Structure 1
Amino acid sequence: MRVNIQLECTECKRRNYSTEKNKKNTTGRLELKKYCKFCKTTTVHKETK
């Protein structure tokens, strides 16, 4: 049930992180506050397709 996903910065649109999520428990798109090394600040990162 676990799938690999990519997290994309909402500011610069770069894919900085990859992680796993359980599709059964988390059906919606994942949103996390992570550090973006390109923006040099903490921004919201959203799950991509």
Structure 2
Amino acid sequence: MGKSKGSRTVITLECICRNEQINNTRKNGIMRYSTSKNKKNTPNRLEVKKFCPYCNKHELFREIK
């Protein structure tokens, strides 16, 4: 039998640039990353700076439902 994951859940991180208007040569789109977090240690929504290829720079990614 395998071990259970316990309180770790899979979450989706989405770039905040999806709501902003960007005057750039690249097309606007939605960039998402998936990761896991421990609900007991971090009950709040997660925010991480990661690279967004649509913005072509590091942006803030927020956890979505």
So what's the TM-score if we normalise by structure 1? 0.91
Query: Which residue of structure 2 lines up, in the alignment, with residue 8 of structure 1?
Result: 14
| Bigger radius of gyration | 2
Query: Among the aligned pairs, what percent are the same residue?
Result: 47
Number of aligned residue pairs: give it. 49
So what's the TM-score if we normalise by structure 2? 0.70
Distance 1:4 1:35 in 2: 20
CA RMSD of aligned residues (A): 1.1
Q: Secondary structure of 2:42's match?
A: coil
Which structure is higher in strand share? 1
Structure 1 residue ranges, 4+ long, deviating more than 3 angstroms after superposition? none
